[in-house]
């Protein structure tokens, strides 16, 4: 029994819909720009979703405005992925979101007031916990039952897809909306700055001169269905989730191992489970954050797995910024679009290969070949490594 | 079938390395404190210095649990946490909002929820599946469901647990929001080894776990749970119950008592664990310990309706049941 993807939704720095994101990917237009919405020093480069909270609340017709930006972005993408799917008592439906900051976008404002000993609004904290961000999305969509949230830093989004696929495969659910959402926060901006891996210039994944990442924000959801659910909903199959794996690097709390152990294991296991030949991977959407450590470790892992025959690969983070827990979901939607439209995206801002690895990512949009199978990687803090394989055929 | 091979807990009760603890518990008092082991027995002193409460609790508890299971190598590490690493989150908020210039990164690094499972994998050099569930009061149940699925997919042993830490800021939040709690908020963590095979060490069976978020049809969910697991509520020997909202809890209690569960078979566990989002993990440990002490206990249900919108049901059975 296959796990079908029958709906996708996305909001990111390069667009508020699937169509807008696709357009930007095709035209090579980055969404990273000097900060506009978050209160930070004006020259900070970030991948913001170009819409304020008030406008989002209005657009989404939210009744209770005590809601985090993380939920608002998530709901925007979740609604698009859900589309007009019917609620049906015969379809066991669930939702799995993922987030790393949860409601921190508002909690940090609360905390500013709290430290100033002003009159902070404690009600804001009701939206702080990560689980709440998902419950709000579920409530708005009318989903009850299996409602879950994962938080494994930058690999969260892929883990949500993996867990959803497993729940369908083990016949626990017929249909599950999976994805991730994270709002940009001063908490994470300052956090990555404290680690000294926030680039003041545009991030340059897989480039010798790379010095760090630019943070972004956004959300993406994918609707997964089994045959029974798809037959009832009438939704068309976009492609299939074929393989997945998660492995712990167990090397360092934040850094990836120089031998790319966890990443190698995740990629190998995901491809093996997919049953697709290693030579059949048409495109790798890399994690490629632009940090010294990740890109080298990931390059080593790609060499470990593919040897001299590394498929065309790129990082789309120079388009969106690093969206943390949403990244895996956003890049999975990009992978689905790559299969639907036979596209291989460029790695923007690349000029010189990393000396120790020598790998050259795709630098110009490729449109002249079939893309049937895509591998997407997401590697996170704490050594959480996840990979997922999408395919046009069962 | 899923077997519980080891159970360990660090809580406000003498749960750690103390089989039979369930026989001598006092109700949590307002000045309650975490009963901490000597962490240096489990964690390198250099590492320990940088670890917050939740991290030291979790790593020590996880290691002890693995020892108890006979030094097994878990195929996966699965953790549930409702609020994650609050101490480091609070610390980094304070730092970046009040310090100019270069900030120390440790509290940021350790603020993410997956630090718990990550630190455990680091401390035992484990490269397996590593997952963190955070669905407020149902975080632990979701970790259990994931673990049961991992066993069904072929894994032999899973280390699964839950942890939450109390910081005094939570008390001010409760006060400001006019939330009156029947017992104090506490910290706690519990870990278990779940195994595919039964051995001489097996403590109990983990028969079923279900979660219901944003509950709409309470009675239907309860009916389904008992039917799909072929158990008559009247056969339950003990129900470990949590509930803070009178209305929602009342409905669940009424369901159980009207189907043959006697009132004295229903026991509130929050009075022993104190309140934290993953307190149901304490309840599972308590159930396993009770089953070990009392051969007449066959079927124990942990009924978690601490949050009125969410219901978690965990059925634990004695090995003979």
> pLDDT, tens digit, for every residue of B132-161?
999 999 999 999 999 999 999 999 999 999
HSE toward the beta carbon, residue A303, CA cutoff 13 A: 14
Give ipTM to 2 decimals: 0.97
Write the CB contacts of A319 (distance below 8 Å, at least 6 apart in sequence): A12, A13, A14, A24, A25, A29, A30, A31, A32, A47, A345, A348
Q: Of A233, A257, A289, which residue constitutes the final position of a domain?
A: A233
Q: Of A178, A206, A233, which residue constitutes the final position of a domain?
A: A233
Task: Determine the pLDDT at residue A1.
Answer: 65
The verdict on a CB contact (< 8 Å) between B142 and A250 is: no
Write the CB contacts of A19 (distance below 8 Å, at least 6 apart in sequence): none
Shared domain for A306 and A204, answered yes or no, is no
Dist CA A354 CA B308 (whole Å): 54
Write the CB contacts of A200 (distance below 8 Å, at least 6 apart in sequence): A43, A45
Q: Write the pLDDT tens digit of every residue in B162-183.
A: 999 999 999 999 999 999 999 9
Q: Write the pLDDT tens digit of every residue in B33-73.
A: 999 999 999 999 999 999 999 999 999 999 999 999 999 99
Q: Write the pLDDT tens digit of every residue in B187-216.
A: 999 999 999 999 999 999 999 999 999 998
Residues of B in contact with A381 (CB under 8 A): 109, 112, 114-115, 118
Shared domain for A225 and A180, answered yes or no, is yes
Whether A239 is catalytic: no
Q: Report the residue of chain A nearest B83, measured CA to CA.
A: A129
Shared domain for A270 and A383, answered yes or no, is yes
Which of A241, A290, A296 lies closest to A263, judged by CA? A296
Domain that includes residue A63, residue range:
3-233
The verdict on a CB contact (< 8 Å) between B127 and A265 is: yes
The verdict on a CB contact (< 8 Å) between A248 and B146 is: no
At B300, list the tokens: 């124990």
Four-residue CA torsion sign, A229, A231, A236, A239: positive
Task: Determine the pLDDT at residue A117.
Answer: 84
Whether A287 is catalytic: yes
Q: CB-CB: which of B133, B177, B215 is closest to A150?
A: B133
Residue B105 has pLDDT above 80, yes or no: yes
Q: Which of A127, A128, A203, A322 is catalytic?
A: A322
Which of A141, A62, A132 lies closest to A94, judged by CA? A141
Task: List the beta bridge partners of residue A198.
Answer: A213
The verdict on a CB contact (< 8 Å) between A125 and B173 is: yes
End-to-end CA separation in angstroms for chain B: 12
Q: Write the pLDDT tens digit of every residue in B112-133.
A: 999 999 999 999 999 999 999 9
Q: Write the pLDDT tens digit of every residue in B228-255.
A: 999 999 999 999 999 877 777 889 999 9
Task: Determine the pLDDT at residue B97.
Answer: 96
Shared domain for A283 and A191, answered yes or no, is no
Low-confidence ranges of chain A (pLDDT < 50): none
Cβ count near A35 (within 10 Å)? 17
Dist CA B24 CA A5 (whole Å): 53
Task: Determine the pLDDT at residue A33.
Answer: 98
Q: How would you classify the pairing of strands A93-98 and A175-182?
A: parallel
Q: Report the residue of chain A nearest B77, measured CA to CA.
A: A248
Write the CB contacts of A84 (distance below 8 Å, at least 6 apart in sequence): none
Shared domain for A210 and A83, answered yes or no, is yes
CATH class given for the domain over B207-317: alpha beta
Min distance A109 CA to chain B CA atoms (Å): 10
Q: CB-CB: which of A108, A170, A191 is closest to B149?
A: A170
Shared domain for A225 and A247, answered yes or no, is no
Shared domain for A226 and A251, answered yes or no, is no
Domain pair B2-195 / B207-317, same fold? yes
Shared domain for A25 and A73, answered yes or no, is yes
Residues of B in contact with A162 (CB under 8 A): none
Shared domain for A100 and A17, answered yes or no, is yes
Helix (H, G, I), strand (E, B) or coil at B241: strand
What is the distance, to the nearest Å, from the Cα of residue A223 to the centroid of all Cα atoms in its chain? 14
Q: Write the pLDDT tens digit of every residue in A60-100.
A: 999 999 999 999 999 999 999 999 999 999 999 999 999 99
Three-state SS letters, B216-232: CCHHHHHHHHHHHCCCC
Q: Where are the domains of chain B?
A: 2-195, 207-317
Write the CB contacts of A246 (distance below 8 Å, at least 6 apart in sequence): A155, A158, A159, A162, A266, A384, A385, A386, B129, B130, B131
Residues of B in contact with A190 (CB under 8 A): 92, 96, 103, 108
Q: CB-CB: which of A139, A146, A253 is closest to B122?
A: A253
Q: Please count the residue pairs, one from chain A and one from chain B, whose beta carbons lie less than 8 angstroms apart.
A: 174
Q: Report the residue of chain B nearest A187, measured CA to CA.
A: B93
CATH code of domain B2-195: 3.40.47.10
Shared domain for A287 and A154, answered yes or no, is no
Min distance A368 CA to chain B CA atoms (Å): 38
Residues of A in contact with B108 (CB under 8 A): 187, 190-191, 194-195
Q: Report the residue of chain B nearest A245, measured CA to CA.
A: B129
Task: Determine the pLDDT at residue B321.
Answer: 83
Dist CA A375 CA A362 (whole Å): 15
How many domains is chain A built from? Answer: 2
> Chain A interface, mutation test: which of B101, B113, B115, B169, most A Cβ atoms within 10 Å?
B113
Residue A31 maps to which CATH number?
3.40.47.10
Q: With contact defined as beta carbons under 8 Å apart, do B57 and B116 qualify?
A: no
Min distance B239 CA to chain A CA atoms (Å): 22
Q: Of A208, A233, A258, which residue constitutes the final position of a domain?
A: A233
Percentages (nearest 5) of helix, strand, coil residues in chain B:
40, 20, 40
What are the phi and psi torsion angles at B151 (to 5°)?
A: -65, -40
Min distance A157 CA to chain B CA atoms (Å): 12
Residues of A in contact with B135 (CB under 8 A): 131, 134, 147-149
Shared domain for A229 and A248, answered yes or no, is no
Min distance A351 CA to chain B CA atoms (Å): 30
Dist CA B49 CA B57 (whole Å): 13
Shared domain for A23 and A71, answered yes or no, is yes
> Chain B interface, mutation test: which of A101, A149, A165, A251, most B Cβ atoms within 10 Å?
A149
Task: Determine the pLDDT at residue A254.
Answer: 81
Task: Determine the pLDDT at residue A256.
Answer: 87
Q: Which of A127, A154, A203, A239 is catalytic?
A: A154
The H-or-E segment that residue A240 falls in is: strand A239-248
Min distance A53 CA to chain B CA atoms (Å): 22
Q: Report the residue of chain B nearest A112, measured CA to CA.
A: B97
Cβ count near A303 (within 10 Å)? 16
Burial B73-93 (b: 16+ CB within 10 A, else e): ebbbbbbbbbbbbbbbbbbbb
């Amino acid at each position: 029994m296959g796990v079908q993807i029958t709906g996708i939704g996305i909001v990111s720095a390069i667009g508020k819909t699937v169509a807008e994101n696709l357009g930007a990917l095709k035209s090579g237009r980055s969404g990273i720009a000097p900060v506009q919405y978050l209160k930070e020093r004006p020259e900070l480069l970030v991948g913001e979703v170009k819409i304020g909270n008030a406008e989002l609340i209005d657009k989404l017709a939210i009744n209770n405005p005590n809601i985090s930006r993380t939920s608002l972005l998530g709901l925007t993408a979740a609604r698009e992925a859900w589309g007009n799917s019917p609620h049906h008592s015969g379809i066991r439906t669930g939702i799995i979101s993922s987030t790393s900051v949860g409601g921190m976008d508002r909690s940090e404002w609360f905390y500013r007031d709290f430290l100033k000993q002003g009159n902070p609004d404690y009600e804001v904290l009701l939206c702080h916990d990560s689980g709440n961000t998902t419950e709000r999305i579920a409530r708005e969509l009318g989903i009850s039952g299996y409602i879950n949230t994962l938080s494994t830093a930058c690999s969260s989004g892929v883990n949500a897809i993996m867990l959803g696929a497993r729940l369908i495969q083990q016949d626990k659910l017929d249909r599950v909306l999976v994805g991730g959402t994270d709002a940009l926060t001063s908490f994470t901006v300052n956090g990555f700055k404290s680690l000294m891996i926030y680039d003041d210039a545009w991030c340059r994944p897989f480039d010798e001169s790379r010095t760090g990442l630019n943070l972004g924000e956004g959300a993406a959801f994918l609707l997964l269905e089994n045959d029974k659910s798809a037959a009832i909903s009438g939704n068309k199959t976009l492609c299939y989730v074929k393989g997945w794996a998660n492995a712990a690097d167990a090397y360092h709390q934040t850094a990836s191992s120089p031998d790319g152990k966890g990443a190698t294991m995740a990629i190998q296991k995901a491809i093996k489970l997919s049953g697709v030949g290693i030579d059949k991977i048409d495109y790798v959407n890399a994690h490629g954050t632009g940090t010294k450590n990740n890109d080298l470790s990931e390059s080593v892992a790609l060499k470990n797995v593919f040897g001299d025959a590394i498929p065309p690969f790129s990082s789309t983070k120079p388009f969106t910024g690093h969206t943390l827990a949403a990244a895996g979901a956003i890049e999975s939607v990009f992978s689905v679009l790559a299969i639907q439209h036979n596209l291989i995206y460029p790695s923007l801002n690349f000029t010189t290969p990393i000396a120790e690895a020598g790998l050259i990512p795709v630098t110009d949009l490729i449109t002249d070949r079939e893309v049937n199978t895509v591998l997407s990687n997401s590697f996170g803090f704490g050594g959480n490594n996840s990979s997922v394989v999408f395919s046009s055929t069962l | 079938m899923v077997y519980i091979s080891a159970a360990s807990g660090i809580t406000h009760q003498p749960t750690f390395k103390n089989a039979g603890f369930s026989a001598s518990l006092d109700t949590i008092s307002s000045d309650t404190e975490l009963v901490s082991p000597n962490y240096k027995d489990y964690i390198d002193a250099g590492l320990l210095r940088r670890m917050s409460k939740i991290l030291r609790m979790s790593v020590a508890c996880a290691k002890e649990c693995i020892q108890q299971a006979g030094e097994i190598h878990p195929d996966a590490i699965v953790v549930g946490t409702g609020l994650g690493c609050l101490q480091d989150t609070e610390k980094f908020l304070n730092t970046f909002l009040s310090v100019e210039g270069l900030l120390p990164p440790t509290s940021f690094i350790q603020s993410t929820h997956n630090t718990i499972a990550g630190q455990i994998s680091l401390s035992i050099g484990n490269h397996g599946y590593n997952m963190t569930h955070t669905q407020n009061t149902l975080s632990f149940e979701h970790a259990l469901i994931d673990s049961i699925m991992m066993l069904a997919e072929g894994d032999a042993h899973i280390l699964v647990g839950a942890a939450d830490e109390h910081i005094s800021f939570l008390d001010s939040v409760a006060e400001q929001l006019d939330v009156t709690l029947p017992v104090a908020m506490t910290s706690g963590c519990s870990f278990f080894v779940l195994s595919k095979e039964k051995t001489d060490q097996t403590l109990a069976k983990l028969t079923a776990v279900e979660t219901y978020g944003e509950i709409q049809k309470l009675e239907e969910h309860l009916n389904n749970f008992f039917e799909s697991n072929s158990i008559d509520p009247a056969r339950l020997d003990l129900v470990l119950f949590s509930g803070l909202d009178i209305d929602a809890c009342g409905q669940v209690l009424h369901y159980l008592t009207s189907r043959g569960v006697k009132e004295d078979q229903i026991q509130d566990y929050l009075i022993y664990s104190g309140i934290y989002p993953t307190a149901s993990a304490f309840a599972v440990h308590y159930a396993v310990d009770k089953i070990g002490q009392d051969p007449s206990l066959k079927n124990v249900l942990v009924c978690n309706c601490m949050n009125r919108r969410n219901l978690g049901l965990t059925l634990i059975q004695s090995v003979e049941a």
